[in-house]
Structure 1
Amino acid sequence: MPVSSKQFQPPAQSQDIVVAFDFDGTISTSDSLRDFVRHAVGPGRFTLGLISASPWLLGMLLGLCDRASAKARFLAVTLAGTTQPALEEMARHYAETRLPLLVRPDMAARIREHRQRGHRLVLVSASPALYLKYWASSAGFDTVLATELEFRDGRFTGRLASPNCWGPQKVQRLQQWFGDNPPHSLYAYGDSRGDREMLALADHAWLRGSIVMPQIDAWPAH
């Protein structure tokens, strides 16, 4: 049965402790979007997609094109026109068979520890919710706040249905999910510039590569 983002709902009661995790580079060892597309369409079409989208991807690196446009172009030339059921099945299979191989063991252990303490887990990612929702559900996350893809007449249009969940958008999506029930304490884990605003929002923030990941009980306030 397909997992819908609508199945992840905010709580009716006040949230005591919330833990927000970035995915790519933080939980995973590499970029999951490129890996998913390669897995879904094969190396030949994947390479052609990279070549076709290269002006947008290069423009993004040079600051001449926004990340959302570059991402949408790459997805359009590789996956546009695919039926929603077919794409959901690709996503489910990828999340069950390939994606777990990219998960860092130390982060898998940290996710389990937070879950065992009764903390609410939120995956906040610029990568598509399309496949992340399947993995997050199996890993015990309470919700996924990620980039959504647009479908029309049962097919992927090649466009994004939501703003790219990167940088300031991560904070906006978190605050929308909190609603009138902000957490008493927020932990956040990230690894890049795209996580800066989310880490600044948190009471306890960890950026991969900055310091050794603290023990949960010994974490100093941000």
Structure 2
Amino acid sequence: MQEPAREVVAAFDLDGTLTDGGSVFRWLGHVAGAARAYRAAAELVGPLTLGALRSGPAADRSKERLFARLLEGRDVEEVAATSRNFIVEHLERHARPAVVARLRWHQHQGHPTVIVSASPELYVTVAAQRLGVDGAIGTRLATDETGRLTGRYEGRNCRGTEKARRLEEWLASRGGDPVLYAYGNSRGDRRMLERADFPFNVGRLGRLGRLRRYPRLPEA
């Protein structure tokens, strides 16, 4: 008796993969005001620079400190509404046609798709809805008992090992043992690509980038 074919699932990073560049600082400027966001970044220039250079926990901590400066005490529903407007416009301006075309190819084949991003889940979810993607995984933001943001993560920043763990959790919730395609552009995606049966590097630096060991998506 022939074994049933394994389901194919495609996982995409958001920033730098489905879209050009990063969204988080632009988002902070949108929800907190550009002047305030730049001022907070200037005050944290040391930790932010260290985080960019070292990545890993240093990057996670500096990002959380910036969130605390700009988001603490904000009503989560108000921020979510503003974030929806932001990500709709961001996708219109910054979507990468070649990578979105690859997403559409998977969708036309009937493959379930998921976005796995270090960006806040409250707008990654909206991005997934706009793109017709089945799942959305992002960094969760903690709230207090009154529904106000604390400026901290709920859990961990969704990058690196955490990104792979959250994806594995999502896949397990669906059951089965799927064939996994994964698309990323940076070292924060490396663990997710290691998990994939078919990993693709869509970073702009190509063979000079952190993911150079992985096949390129030719048209990206």
Q: Which residue in the other structure is 1:94 paired with? A: 86
Q: Which runs of 5+ in 2 are unaligned?
A: 208-214
Contact 1:188-1:204 at 8 Å conserved across structures = yes
Moved more, 142-151 or 58-67: 58-67
SS in 1 for 2:142: strand
* 2: CA distance, partners of 1:52 / 1:59: 13
Q: Which residue in the other structure is 1:55 paired with? A: 46
Encode CA deviations 1:113-135: one digit per residue, 9 max, x unaligned: 11111111111111111111111
Q: Which residue in the other structure is 1:177 paired with? A: 170
Encode CA deviations 1:87-109: one digit per residue, 9 max, x unaligned: 01111111222333111111121
* 2: CA distance, partners of 1:91 / 1:15: 37
1:62–1:110 Cα change, 3 Å: closer
* 1: CA distance, partners of 2:51 / 2:152: 17
Contact 1:18-1:183 at 8 Å conserved across structures = no
Q: Which runs of 5+ in 1 are unaligned?
A: 1-13, 216-222
Q: Which residue in the other structure is 1:132 paired with? A: 124
Residue identity matched to 2:160: G
Contact 1:67-1:164 at 8 Å conserved across structures = no
The Cα RMSD (Å) is 2.0
SS in 1 for 2:18: coil
Give the TM-score taking structure 1 as reference length: 0.84
Q: Which residue in the other structure is 2:149 paired with? A: 156
Q: Answer yes or no: is 1:146 the counterpart of 2:138.
A: yes
Contact 1:52-1:77 at 8 Å conserved across structures = no
Give the CA deviation at 1:155: 0.7
Give the CA deviation at 1:184: 2.9
Give the CA deviation at 1:182: 4.1
Residue identity matched to 2:153: L
Encode CA deviations 1:15-45: one digit per residue, 9 max, x unaligned: 7111010111111111110111112222211
* 2: CA distance, partners of 1:199 / 1:163: 19
Moved more, 119-128 or 100-109: 100-109
Q: Which residue in the other structure is 2:180 paired with? A: 186
Q: Which residue in the other structure is 2:217 paired with? A: 213
Give the CA deviation at 1:214: 5.2
Moved more, 120-129 or 59-68: 59-68
Give the TM-score taking structure 2 as reference length: 0.85
* 1: CA distance, partners of 2:17 / 2:11: 11
Between the two proteins, the alignment pairs up a number of residues equal to 202
